[in-house]
Amino acid sequence: MNKLEEICATKREEVAARKQERSLSDLETAIRAQTPPRGFQAALARAQDDRFGLIAEIKKASPSKGLIRADFEPAAHARAYAAGGAACLSVLTDAPYFQGHEDYLIAAREACDLPVLRKDFMVDPWQVAEARALGADAILIIVAALDDSVMAEIEAAALDHSMDVLIEVHDAAEMDRAARLSSRLIGVNNRDLKTFTTDLATTEQLAPRAPAESLLVGESGISSHADCARLADSGVRSFLVGESLMRQADVAAATRTLLHG
Ligand SMILES: O=C(O)c1ccccc1NCC(=O)[C@H](O)[C@H](O)COP(=O)(O)O
């Protein structure tokens, strides 16, 4: 079993237990009390029209790097990312592998006006309702983790809640499968989630295969303005960045430098 399969197997057990604790009608009640989704894809599109679009990730730890940020303060990081010019946030909520928590998403979204992606491993449409009940504006579909029918069900659930969907691919076959979904917000993950090898050339190679009119996001392993400029040469002007920003003492200044050089 590779790491992605292991994470998804753990997630299926976690979701089965959570579904016993909280019914869909309970989640629907919480969703009605939520503020409406903030337009995630629209915010990214506006930002990349201007210069670069940044989805700044609030990430405490990861399977590949272990602990990334000891003094972890989701609300303060959210404010710093917003001050530095990020268009959107991504907040890891997976606990076993990323030391994430749902409360981090709630705190980050309350601390600023940016749209927020719930960064987790979606294996069941129930998680979409749970994400919206927490306030999430967008969810992630990892093509490598799901078969076509489950991907379509999860996407439909998100669209029903007026949420945006970031569809993540890592190879040409996954890009072709992503094209069968309706979302045109497509992330190319430079990290192979089975081996953790990271290579920016992945985005360069896959960008030309994306469906027409896609908003492409280069994901993982991006650590400088030069990396952003390199990917922009392939027509990718939005980026999802976690570790390199989370390791900085001054997160707002590092975000500005990433975007503007
Ligand atoms: O980051 C990991 O080690 C990881 C391992 C297994 C599955 C997913 C993983 N990361 C999720 C991501 O895609 C990244 O958090 C995101 O793209 C930001 O990457 P980075 O800027 O390199 O932190």
Residue 62's CB is within 10 A of a number of other CB atoms, namely: 22
Separation between Cα atoms, residue 118 and residue 142, nearest integer Å? 13
Mutate which of 6, 10, 57, 62 for ligand 1 pocket (most atoms within 8 A of beta carbon): 62
Averaged pLDDT, 55-81: 97
Q: Whose CA is nearest to atom 12 of ligand 1?
A: 220
Is residue 3 among the annotated active site residues?
A: no
Is 242 a pocket residue for ligand 1 (Cβ < 6 Å)?
A: yes
**Ligand 1 atom at shortest distance from the alpha carbon of 244:** 21
Mean pLDDT, the chain, integer: 97
Averaged pLDDT, 187-192: 97
- Quickly list DSSP for 97-113: HH---HHHHHHHHHHSS
Burial (CB < 10 A; 0-12, 13-18, 19+), residue 248, is middle
| 194 pLDDT above the threshold of 90 | no
Averaged pLDDT, 228-248: 98
Is 227 a pocket residue for ligand 1 (Cβ < 6 Å)?
A: no
Averaged pLDDT, 216-244: 98
| 254 pLDDT above the threshold of 90 | yes
Nearest CA to 154 out of 119, 124, 182 is that of 124
Nearest CA to 60 out of 30, 100, 90 is that of 100
- State the pLDDT at residue 183: 98
- CATH number, span 3-260: 3.20.20.70
Give the distance (Å) from ligand 1 centre to CA of residue 62.
Answer: 7
- State the pLDDT at residue 170: 98
Domain boundaries, the chain: 3-260
| 1 pLDDT above the threshold of 90 | no
CB distance 224 to 256 below 8 Å? no
**What would the pLDDT profile of 138-157 be if each residue is shown by its tens digit?**
999 999 999 999 999 999 99
Work out the percent of the chain whose per-residue pLDDT is above 90: 97
Averaged pLDDT, 189-196: 92
Separation between Cα atoms, residue 255 and residue 130, nearest integer Å? 30
The complex's ipTM works out to: 0.98
| 251 pLDDT above the threshold of 90 | yes
Give the distance (Å) from ligand 1 centre to CA of residue 23.
Answer: 30
Averaged pLDDT, 33-51: 96
- State the pLDDT at residue 244: 98
**What would the pLDDT profile of 78-91 be if each residue is shown by its tens digit?**
999 999 999 999 99
Q: Is the pTM value of this prediction over 0.90?
A: yes
| 48 pLDDT above the threshold of 90 | yes
